[in-house]
Homo-oligomer: A and B are copies of this chain.
Amino acid sequence: MALDAVGHTEDKTSGVAGDRLRALVDRIERLEEERKALAGDIKDIYGEAKSAGFDVKVLRQLIRIRKQEPAEVEEQETLLDVYRHALGM
């Protein structure tokens, strides 16, 4: 618990730690708003892609693959093949 920060003996109605807390909360909420806006922008682009005839699910997969290390991609694809063959697929 944050007793050090807000729990005690400052002046009664929003001590210095309360102010500090408020400031932190404000900054976080501000940044989260920006984050949310960006998320909206990204969603819009996927919508655009869809309208242009791209398959959104595959597009997401593509983005995901590009984020990984090539070696890692290769490994997972190989492993999947191993499992598929083990099941005769």
Contact = CB atoms under 8 A, between A and B. Distances in A.
Copies per complex of this chain: 4
Interface in A1-48: 1-7, 10-15, 17-18, 20-22, 24-25, 27-29, 31-32, 34-35, 38-39, 41-42, 45-46, 48
Interface of A: 1-7, 10-15, 17-18, 20-22, 24-25, 27-29, 31-32, 34-35, 38-39, 41-42, 45-46, 48-49, 52-55, 57-59, 61-63, 65-67, 75-76, 78-89
A45 to B, nearest CB: 5
B55 A1 contact: yes
A14 B63 contact: no
